[in-house]
Structure 1
Amino acid sequence: MNSDIIFKYFPDLTAEQKSQYEALYDLYQDWNSQINVISRKDIDELYIRHILHSLGIAKVISFKPGTTVLDVGTGGGFPGIPLAIMFPETQFTLVDSIGKKIKVVNGVSESIGLQNVEAFHNRAEQLSDNYDFVVSRAVTRLKPFYQWVKNKFKADSFNDLKNGILYLKGGDLSEELKEAKKKYEIYDLPSYFEEEFFETKKVVYVPIS
């Protein structure tokens, strides 16, 4: 398992970004032996199933410097950490309700020298700050998720997409999207990545205003 798959789809990375991505496998394997945040099966597929999957959001939007992003239910740091490497001038706040997962996030961030990540053992509803975007990876159905985060957005947008939710999801979402009753756009990840894993994977974008 190596990081070449990342460089294939993102060829313009700096030397520092490359070394940060390269370091992730050993770091997650080490942390996973202490605190199980990634299934044993998935750790071998870390670069496709977790890192490249997280970077599906980076194919949909290139965050401008000064953007603030909240990653809700980050688990071991996905999609927040891969995105924070990709966008060093964007500030990422990663939250999870399980404290030991935030311990992993902090450990990995410190090891690779990420300056643009802060992580909290908390629920999204309890945060007082507002953000340009909220990202997440299939934490729950869109309708309840929207309720958690709807008051977490800044009013003014300055990116190519209006402020909103960028949600990594898979499978047939027609019923879930109908239930949510929100305006949305779907970006199919097979448009960007050719690996079989991405066959049904999507980024659902829900603008807030």
Structure 2
Amino acid sequence: MNADIIFKYFPDLTPVQKSQFNALYDLYHTWNEQINVISRKDIDELYIRHVLHSLGIAKVMPFKPGTKVLDVGTGGGFPGIPLAIMFPESDFHMVDSIGKKIKVVKGVATSLNLTNINAEQTRAEQVPDHYDFVVSRAVTRLKPFYQWVKNKFRPESFNTFPNGILYLKGGDLDEELKEAKKKYQLFELSQYFDEDFFETKKVVFVPVN
């Protein structure tokens, strides 16, 4: 399996980026046999369901050089690893409470020579640093997630959007967004990607400053 679907939607990648994206399938296939971080049925759909899904954030918010991003509950490295490939001049701190998942993230990052990733076994609430954006993929409902990360942001913004949360979610979010009682913008990933998988997938942007 190769990364042609990625190149279709992101045609301006460098040769290094293309090589890194192409390497992801074999890397995750190998790691998944040791530590199951992606379901067996999903591994063959890696590029659509995991890599391209993660890059929905890149369509909504292209990070400027120097942007600091916290990936909470990264699991096997999503959305952080695809975003770190896409934005090599931004820094990604990827955290998960499960150590074996962070082992996979570190292994993949090392194999890809990604020097803009710091992966750590910890919880979001225990992270002392501050960031421009927090990204995540459906770790929990937005209201508790906001409480975990609300104090993790730098005061000054320099990207297109003000600093905040970029959250990958799916399905009907009306009740969840109402419960959170926060300002937000909703981006339908079906605007950017043609595949059926993205019909119900969204990026929720919640500014925090």
Answer yes or no: is 1:80 the counterpart of 2:80: yes
Matched, 1:115 2:150: no
The normalised TM-score by structure 2 is 1.00
Q: 1:4-39 deviations in whole A, cap 9, x for unaligned?
A: 000000000000000000000000000000000000
2:33 and 2:176 mapped to 1: Cα distance?
35
Aligned position for 2:94: 94
Q: How does 1:16-95 map to 2 (within 5 A)?
A: 16-95=16-95
Distance 2:191 2:128 in 1: 36
Separation of aligned partners in 2, 1:201 and 1:128: 31
How far off its partner does 1:174 sit?
0.1
In structure 1, the partner of 2:203 is: 203
In structure 1, what residue type is equivalent to 2:11? P
Kindly state the Cα deviation for residue 195 of structure 1 after the two structures are TM-superposed: 0.0
Q: CA deviation at 1:2?
A: 2.1
RMSD: 0.4
Inter-partner Cα distance in structure 2 for 1:60 and 1:189:
9
Instruction: Indicate the percent of aligned positions where both proteins have the same amino acid.
Output: 77
Residue identity opposite 2:18 in structure 1: K
Specify the SS of the correspondent of 2:165. Answer: strand
Aligned residues: 209
Whole-Å Cα distance in 2 between the matches of residues 40 and 181 of structure 1? 37
Q: Give 5+ residue unaligned stretches, structure 2.
A: none
- Alignment of 1:176 onto 2:176: yes
Instruction: Give CA-to-partner distance per residue, 1:122-168, whole Å, 9 cap, x none.
Output: 00000100000000000000000000000000000000000000000
SS in 2 for 1:169: strand
Q: 1:141 maps to what in 2?
A: 141
Could you tell me how far apart the structure 2 residues matched to 1:59 and 1:39 are? 26
* Equivalent position amino acid for 1:83 in 2: L
Tell me what 2:185 maps to: 185
Q: Which amino acid aligns with 1:74?
A: T
Quick one: which amino acid aligns to residue 189 of structure 1?
Answer: L
1:64 and 1:167 mapped to 2: Cα distance? 18
CA–CA distance in 1 between the matches of 2:112 and 2:165? 27
The residue type paired with residue 100 of structure 2 is K
Question: Match of 1:76, SS?
Answer: coil
